[in-house]
Amino acid sequence: MIFFSFIIPQIAYGAEISAMAEKSLFGPNDWIKIFVDIDGYSGGVVNWNSTQPDGTAISGSLASLKASKVTHTITRNAFDNQFGHWKIEYRYNDVKKLIDVEVEPIILLVTTDKLSYGSDDIATVQFHTNYYDANAAHAESLFVQILDDKGIPAKLVEDFTIKVYQPNIIEQFSMSNLLKHNPSGNYHAVVNYYNVKVDIPFVASNINSKTTIFLGSDKNLYDPGDSVEINVVISELSANSGVLTITSPSGKVNTKTISAVSSSNKVKFDGITSSEIGTYTIRFNYGENVATKTFDVLAESLAKPTLSDLGIEISLDKSQYRPGETVNAKISTSKSIENNIVYWFEDPTGNNANQISFVNPTSGTFTVPHILEIDSLPGPWKIHVKYGPVESFALFVISGEPVSPSEKILVDVFIPDWIRNNARGWAENQITDDDFAAGIEFLIKEKIILIPNLVHVGSSEAQIPDWIKNTASWWADGLISDREFANGIKFLVTSGIMQI
C-alpha cells in the first residue's frame, strides 16, 4: 500500500478584526488606547498604520496576541500638536479594519482688562484652558514673555511661568518696571502652553509725559501726479490707532487709518495730486492729540537740483532710542561728487547741533554711528544729511530712562567705512593729513575712541608722522581689526606722537 502525507498550512479562514477605542474622545495629553480582537487569529503579526491630523503617518506591528486580543497603545502627549481626527488601520493577512479616533484640542484663552496701560497701572490678565492637572506638582506650566513690536524681548523684564492646575487663572502685573527700562510703545504678551501659542498685543505708555507728534512729507513741493509719503513720529504711544487725512485745496478729503500705530510710521497716498493745484493740508488725529502740516502741488517744478540723478537715502537701525544709546544711520548715495557729506541732528525744540563734515570718496552705502547724550531731550529728533545740493533727513524718537552703565553691552569697535576709505587714500597720498585727521576727530567726537582730557594743539594743521601710514594701510586692507586700529590711534594721541 502506498501512503500519501500532506502538510496543510494554517490559513486564517474567516478571520475578522474588531477594534474599539478606549474613549470616544481622548484628552489633549492622553495616550491613545485601542482594544483589538481578531476572531480566527492563527498566529503571526498584526500590522497597523495611522494617519495623524496633520496628514503625517506613523506605523508599527502587534505581535503574539494572547487569546486573540491585545491593547494597542499609541504613546503621545499634547506637545505633538496632533489634535483632531486620527485614522488607524489594522491589517492581518488579507483582512483590514479601519477605526476613527478623536483627540480633543487644547483651548487657551488669554484676556487683559485693558488695551492700554500707564506706568502706574496694574494689568490684570486672565488665562483659561480646557486642560489642566489638579495636582500642582504634576501640572504643566505656561510660559509668558513680553516682546516689543519687533519681536525683541523687553529689557530687564523677566519671563515667568505659571502652573496650570485649574481651568481659570488670574494674574496681575505692574507696568512700572516695564516702562522704567523700556520706551512707551506697542508690546506683546506671548503665552505658550505645550505647543499652543497666544499673542496678546497691548500699549504701554508713560501717561505723565507729553505726547509730541511730528508730521513730515518726503517733499514740500510736488508735481501733479506725484505720490505723497507722510512720516508720522509719536514720542509717547497712548492708543492703538490714529487717523491721517489729506485735504485738497477744494476741500476734498482723503483718509487713511493707521490701525497699528508705532513710534515711527510711513503712509503713502497715490493719485491725490493729479487733479488740483495748490496747498494741501495734512492732519493726524491720535487720541486727543492733533498735528497738521501743509505741502504744495504746482504745475511746473521749481528750483529742482541740477544733479537730478543724485540722491541720498537714510535708514536707521530702529525708530526709538533711549538717552545714551547709539544711533546707527546707514547712508546711501547714488552718485559720487566732490562735495563733502555733512550731517547734523535737530532736537524736538528745533535746535540744530553742530554740523559734522567728512569726505565720501566713493558712492555706495556706509554707516555713521552716533552716541546720544544722557541728557538728550525726549521726543522726535531728526538726523539731517546734505550732499552737494541734495538734503534729506530721517526721524527717530528719544524716550524712556537713560541707559545706565550696568545695562551697556560691550561690543566690538565699529568704525564707519568712509574712514577706512580715508585711511586707504591717505596711505596712498591721495588725501591730505588734515582730511585723515578729520576722520580721527570724528572717532573721538563720537566716542568710538575714548580719550579723556584731550587737549587740541594750537597749530592749524594736523601733525601726523609718516610712519603711521603703514598702520593705516594695514587696517584699510583688513590686516588688523577696528579695535586694534582704534587702540593704536588712542595710544598715539594720548602719548603725543599724533597731534590732532
What average pLDDT does range 231-256 have in this prediction? 81
Q: For position 181, which CATH number holds?
A: 2.60.40.1930
21-67 confidence digits (pLDDT tens): 999 999 999 999 999 999 988 888 999 999 999 999 999 999 878 88
What is the number of structural domains in the chain? 5
195 and 222 in a single domain? The answer is no
402 within 8 A of 378, measured Cβ to Cβ: no
User: Where are any strands of DSSP class E within 184-325?
Assistant: 185-193, 196-205, 213-217, 221-222, 228-234, 242-247, 253-258, 264-269, 278-286, 289-297, 312-316, 320-321
Could you list the residue range(s) of the whole structural domain that residue 402 is in? 305-408
- State how far the Cα of 65 lies from the Cα of 61, in Å rounded to an integer: 11
- State how far the Cα of 279 lies from the Cα of 85, in Å rounded to an integer: 63
The 3-state DSSP class for residue 427 equals helix
The 3-state DSSP class for residue 423 equals helix
113 and 80 in a single domain? The answer is no
Calculate the CA 189 to chain-centre distance.
15
4 within some domain = no
Q: How distant, in Å, are the alpha carbons of 109, 149, 159 from that of 173?
A: 18, 19, 12
Q: How confident is the model at residue 421 (pLDDT cuts 50, 70, 90)?
A: confident
Judged against a pLDDT cut of 80, whether residue 389 lies above it is answered with: no
10 within some domain = no
5 within some domain = no
The per-residue pLDDT for 301 is: 46
- State how far the Cα of 294 lies from the Cα of 460, in Å rounded to an integer: 46
Q: Residue 78's CB: how many other CB atoms inside 10 A?
A: 21
Judged against a pLDDT cut of 60, whether residue 108 lies above it is answered with: yes
The per-residue pLDDT for 351 is: 84
Residue with cell 499609541: 74
Last residue of a domain, one of 408, 441, 459: 408
Last residue of a domain, one of 408, 443, 458: 408
- State how far the Cα of 271 lies from the Cα of 306, in Å rounded to an integer: 27
166 within some domain = yes
321 and 395 in a single domain? The answer is yes
Residue with cell 487569529: 41
429-457 confidence digits (pLDDT tens): 877 777 777 777 766 666 666 555 444 54
Residue with cell 528750483: 303
Last residue of a domain, one of 375, 408, 441: 408
- State how far the Cα of 444 lies from the Cα of 422, in Å rounded to an integer: 16
Angle between helices 482-494 and 433-445 (to 10 degrees): 100
The 3-state DSSP class for residue 465 equals coil
Phi and psi angles of residue 263, each rounded to the nearest 5 degrees, phi first? -65, -25
Residue type, 112: T
First-residue to last-residue Cα distance in the chain:
126
- Taking each continuous run of H as one helix and of E as one strand, the counts in the chain are 5, 31
Q: What is the pTM of this model?
A: 0.44
317 within some domain = yes
98 and 113 in a single domain? The answer is no
Find the farthest-apart pair of alpha carbons in the chain and give their distance in angstroms, rounded.
135
To which H or E segment does residue 193 belong? strand 185-193
Phi and psi angles of residue 176, each rounded to the nearest 5 degrees, phi first? -65, -40
Mean pLDDT of the chain: 80
304-342 confidence digits (pLDDT tens): 444 445 667 888 888 888 888 888 888 887 666 555 678
252 and 329 in a single domain? The answer is no
- State how far the Cα of 148 lies from the Cα of 155, in Å rounded to an integer: 9
Cell of 248: 485738497
Surface-to-core class of residue 307, CB atoms within 10 Å of its CB (0-12 exposed, 13-18 middle, 19+ buried)? middle
Judged against a pLDDT cut of 60, whether residue 460 lies above it is answered with: no
- State how far the Cα of 342 lies from the Cα of 438, in Å rounded to an integer: 12
24 within some domain = yes
- State how far the Cα of 313 lies from the Cα of 310, in Å rounded to an integer: 10
The per-residue pLDDT for 8 is: 46
Surface-to-core class of residue 479, CB atoms within 10 Å of its CB (0-12 exposed, 13-18 middle, 19+ buried)? exposed
Share of the chain above pLDDT 70, in %: 78
128-171 confidence digits (pLDDT tens): 999 999 998 889 999 999 998 888 998 888 888 999 999 999 99
58 and 135 in a single domain? The answer is no
The per-residue pLDDT for 338 is: 53
61 and 128 in a single domain? The answer is no
9 within some domain = no
6 within some domain = no
